[in-house]
Structure 1
Amino acid sequence: MRAASLGIRTRLVRVVVADEGMSTAEYAIGTIAAAAFGAVLYGVVTGDSIVNALTKIIDKALNTAV
């Protein structure tokens, strides 16, 4: 009887501790988060204020007297 309960405990511990398949879910969540961040970054960078600011910086850099 004691050996049977020890076997059940061992199986339960293996089930609880096992993390097989977790890396696939983590990669999927990471990929979705990266895509969402890229979409937000694209929206910010292509906004009028950022484009105007970058244009001013480039114009100022090109029009400096050396």
Structure 2
Amino acid sequence: MATPLPNALTIRRNRAGQLVVADGPCATRYVREDAMAVWTALREGLVLAGLFVVLILWAILGYAVLEG
């Protein structure tokens, strides 16, 4: 039988459906902050990608208007 790691954290969902770490409130806060950092990075990446697409479409439309 495998023995658990001494510093392993148990992540589970509470009754409200939130992820909680069985190792205490500080660890729960860190998990939440890490998840928010990942979400923020994804959101910023999506915004930059959207701006890039808008810039390309604007350039294509401007070229089409100038060429007639």
Scaled by the length of structure 1, the TM-score of the pair is 0.49
Structure with larger RCO (C-alpha < 8 A, sep 6+): 2
More helix by share: 1
More strand by share: 2
Larger Rg belongs to:
1
